Structure 1
Amino acid sequence: MSEPAKVVAIIAANQALTALLGMVVAGDSRLKVRQFDSELSLIAYMRLAPIDMLVCDFDREGRPAYEMVESIRLNGSLVSQDVPVIALTRTITPPMRHQAISAGIDEVVIKPMSPRHLLQRIQARLRTRSVVGVLGGYRGPDRRNRLATPVPQPVPQRRETDNVIPLFPDRRKPPQPHLDA
């Protein structure tokens, strides 16, 4: 017996990008693609049917992606409230990174990217399902078992007494002191 197809919802910055991404993702026979041109139609669909993955775009008009995802997480009337989310963006800034993590966006992919790369990220996310199902908690990837990073130490400035061999040594003769008699 075969596993049922996973549903991937895509809402991108424009209809052309949505159609292109949808076409590439639909190339995987284990995935069904649902394309949306507005947040309103996405929410209406999510009230009726479950989705297994959401791909949204930070660069689309209207409400920012992190606000849309946050409202999905807090909306109890949706069938797929804890859906994994991959967001697309042109650039990522520290405030955007913080907003994405706090909203529960699992991964941010920088555009331009290959649509096949996005397909690989969707497939990987569907295999791991990293979303935590407790409301109000952290919903991003599990980072508890990460290696601790060393604390950065200031690099002392080099002194002339260091054991450093110059790449191009100064081969000029040092100036001779004048001895006046």
Structure 2
Amino acid sequence: MTEPAKVVAIIAANTALSSLLGMVVAGDSRLKVRVFESELELIAYMRLAPVHMLVCDFDREGRPAYEMVEGIRLNGDLVSQDVPVIALTRSITPPMRHQAISAGIDEVIIKPMSPRHLLQRIQTRLRSRSVIGVLGGYRGPDRRNRISMPPVQPVPARRSTDNVIPLFPDRRKPQHPGLDG
């Protein structure tokens, strides 16, 4: 029994990059590629059909990628609200890094990169998330379902040394008080 093809949505800074990335990713017969020119097209598609991976570009015009991803994460009308996201950018700044983490972007790849490298990252992410997705899905660093743990109890200090073997034993003869002989 064959597994249905996974849908990879691509929204890049320009149509040439989108086409190139789409062509390389489509080389994997297990993946279906959907290339979008605008965020509105992407959101409209995601309302109707599942997306298994989103590749977006920080360098595209319009709303920044982290805001788009936050909008997807918060939009309850989408079929694939918890979609894994790989973002592309020319450079990473500390504020951008923080924004990407808080938005739930899974990975950021620096451009220029090999389109085959992107394909490998997509394949790895889809493979590694298949089991996790069944168990509830990854929600990003700020969205994890935390397991409730009992409060940490301090371990009482050991009072006796009956089971302690000294590393350097004291080989002197014991002094007995009161026996001066």
Indicate if the aligned counterparts of 2:11 and 2:56 stay in contact, CA closer than 8 A. yes
Deviations 1:93-151 (CA, angstroms, capped at 9, x unpaired): 000000000000000000000000000000000011267748796258xxxxxxxxxxx
In 2, the alpha carbon distance for the partners of 1:71 and 1:33 equals: 22
| Aligned equivalent of 1:138 | 142
Task: Kindly report which structure 2 residues correspond to 1:14-163, keeping only aligned pairs within 5 A, or say none.
Answer: 14-129=14-129, 133=137, 138-139=142-143
Runs in 1 of length 4+ with deviation above 3 angstroms? 130-137
Amino acid at match of 1:58: F
Q: State the TM-score, normalized to the length of structure 1.
A: 0.74
In 1, the alpha carbon distance for the partners of 2:140 and 2:25 equals: 31
Moved more, 16-25 or 126-135: 126-135
Amino acid at match of 1:6: K
Indicate if the aligned counterparts of 2:101 and 2:141 stay in contact, CA closer than 8 A. no
| Aligned equivalent of 2:164 | none
Amino acid at match of 1:115: P
Deviations 1:3-51 (CA, angstroms, capped at 9, x unpaired): 1000000000000100000000000000000000000000000000001
In 2, the alpha carbon distance for the partners of 1:136 and 1:76 equals: 17
Indicate if the aligned counterparts of 2:104 and 2:141 stay in contact, CA closer than 8 A. no
The Cα RMSD (Å) is 1.9
Structure 1 pair 57–2 and aligned structure 2 pair: CA distance change class (3 A): same
In 2, the alpha carbon distance for the partners of 1:15 and 1:47 equals: 23
Indicate if the aligned counterparts of 2:105 and 2:140 stay in contact, CA closer than 8 A. no
Where structure 1 has 5 or more consecutive residues not aligned to the other structure, the ranges are 141-181
In 1, the alpha carbon distance for the partners of 2:23 and 2:35 equals: 10
Q: State the TM-score, normalized to the length of structure 2.
A: 0.74
Amino acid at match of 2:8: V
In 2, the alpha carbon distance for the partners of 1:112 and 1:138 equals: 29
Q: How many residues align?
A: 140
Where 2:88 maps in the other structure, the secondary structure is strand
In 2, the alpha carbon distance for the partners of 1:136 and 1:44 equals: 23
In 1, the alpha carbon distance for the partners of 2:141 and 2:125 equals: 19
Where structure 2 has 5 or more consecutive residues not aligned to the other structure, the ranges are 145-181
Structure 1 pair 28–139 and aligned structure 2 pair: CA distance change class (3 A): farther
In 1, the alpha carbon distance for the partners of 2:102 and 2:94 equals: 12
